[in-house]
Structure 1
Amino acid sequence: MADQMHFNKASYLMSAPTLALCPPETGVEVCFAGRSNAGKSSAINTLTNNGKLARTSKTPGRTQMINFFTLGNPDQRLVDLPGYGYAKVPLAMKIEWEKHLSQYLQERKSLAGMVLMMDVRHPLQEFDTTMINWAVSAEMPVHILLTKADKLKKGPAQTMLLNVRKHLKEAKADDLVSVQLFSSLKRTGLPELNIVLNRWFLGDAAKAE
């Protein structure tokens, strides 16, 4: 039996406004990204079984820093990236966020993969495809969570899932990019997400299980 990650051991480490101020590039980390209303913080809280770990807000765009959480081991980290899309901030600040996000995704040596949140009702918005393109260009795996799946009936939700998979295949991105349905409210899709994250964090040990 391979080791398993214990995401409920997650605790806040630090926040950084730029790549230069991030923790040392040791060990393995996985980042969570998504538009400001995609349910990113809720997904992190569900994964870690800690409703207060990542801030959730009724005002999208409150996360303006790169937030790091350790997993009981300083060399294993979850990273909450700045939300993007609906934040009521000056355009110059949005451009600055985008620059740091691009730099982080393409240059961070300890980054093993990105979990990208998309509202299942509105997937593959412009920012989503930009994030995927950045990651694919860096040859980094991406796992898409189609969040708020509880907002749709099973049939329409499955249709959206198949449509996104078709788009990824047509874009020749399906080798690096996987996708699933997810609901923080119902905790559906959590086992599937755990399998992906264990593989990224533990590598061959997770595949051997």
Structure 2
Amino acid sequence: MPDVAPPDPAITDAEALEAGRLLFAQNTQFVHAAQTVEGLLEARGIEVALAGRSNVGKSTLINAITGHVALARVAQAPGRTRQLNFFQVGEGRLSIVDMPGYGYAEAPKAVKRDWQGLMFRYLRGRPNLRRVLLLMDARIEDKPADHTIMGILDKAAVAFQIVLTKADKMKPELLARKHEAILAIARKHPAALNDVIVTSSETGLGIAELRASIAALVV
């Protein structure tokens, strides 16, 4: 039975994994929510943002990365997050940004336009944004909205890394095929990292590697 391809060796060696563990062993706290670009805090430290379709598991993954049970609230209904939520790690050298979900079909068009407009303006204009983690549900086929956001990230020259979520819901052979398919998509985008991290917030798969990948940005 085929296995998922191993992550980039640069984020799996013991030193990198330990750096990731130590970074997120610090206290993480919610510090700010912005509904407009004008409402953003002054840019300081490094920011890593999580983007993805509604219900992809952004809040759950933030909780898993930071080791908190309920730091980021998991919405009962997809599409409810309509602001940028900032979580400060430690003394502020790193902030994790939970972006509004995109592509939720049942959200009113006016609402989708407003919160997606905020997301796009943030991506294009935030000087300390070092990376976007683009979350995709391992169980679901990639959608036009996913490709739209990848194109915007390319144009904005914002480096992004695709992270597959909910991998525990997939059989290993199907997960391996999905990983290869998404990696092929990533290779077509100049702003994408040539590495797709497979994760499960339920089992902890890929969480240490994701922490290490983020820690490498904090110098």
Same fold (TM over 0.5): yes
1:177, distance to aligned residue in structure 2 (A): 5.2
Q: Which amino acid aligns with 1:125?
A: K
C-alpha RMSD of matched pairs (Å): 1.9
User: 2: CA distance between counterparts of 1:174 and 1:26?
Assistant: 23
1:163-207: CA deviation from partner (whole Å, max 9, x where unpaired): 1111222x24375453121111111011221121012223xxxxx
Question: Any conservation in 1 of the 2:157–2:191 contact (CA below 8 Å)?
Answer: no
Higher mean alpha-carbon deviation, 62-71 vs 127-136, is at: 127-136
Q: Which amino acid aligns with 1:190?
A: I
TM-score normalised to structure 1 length: 0.88
Question: Any conservation in 1 of the 2:165–2:201 contact (CA below 8 Å)?
Answer: yes
User: 2: CA distance between counterparts of 1:163 and 1:90?
Assistant: 32
Question: Any conservation in 1 of the 2:199–2:206 contact (CA below 8 Å)?
Answer: yes
TM-score normalised to structure 2 length: 0.84
Q: Which has the higher contact order (CA 8 A, sep 6+)?
A: 2
User: 2: CA distance between counterparts of 1:25 and 1:41?
Assistant: 22
1:59-98 correspondence runs (5 A): 59-86=77-104, 88-98=106-116
Which of 126, 129, 145 pairs up with 1:127?
Answer: 145
Higher mean alpha-carbon deviation, 34-43 vs 78-87, is at: 78-87
User: 1: CA distance between counterparts of 2:86 and 2:105?
Assistant: 21
Whether 1:191 and 2:191 are equivalent positions in the alignment is no
Q: Which runs of 5+ in 2 are unaligned?
A: 1-14
Query: Which residue does the alignment assign to 2:9?
Result: none
Which of 93, 105, 110 pairs up with 2:123?
Answer: 105
1:16-41: CA deviation from partner (whole Å, max 9, x where unpaired): 00111111012211001111111111
Query: Which residue does the alignment assign to 2:167?
Result: 149
Return structure 1 stretches of 4+ with deviation > 6 angstroms.
none
Q: Identity over the aligned pairs, expressed in percent?
A: 33
Whether 1:45 and 2:78 are equivalent positions in the alignment is no
User: 1: CA distance between counterparts of 2:139 and 2:81?
Assistant: 22
Q: Which amino acid aligns with 2:23?
A: H
1:102-126: CA deviation from partner (whole Å, max 9, x where unpaired): 1111111110101111101224312
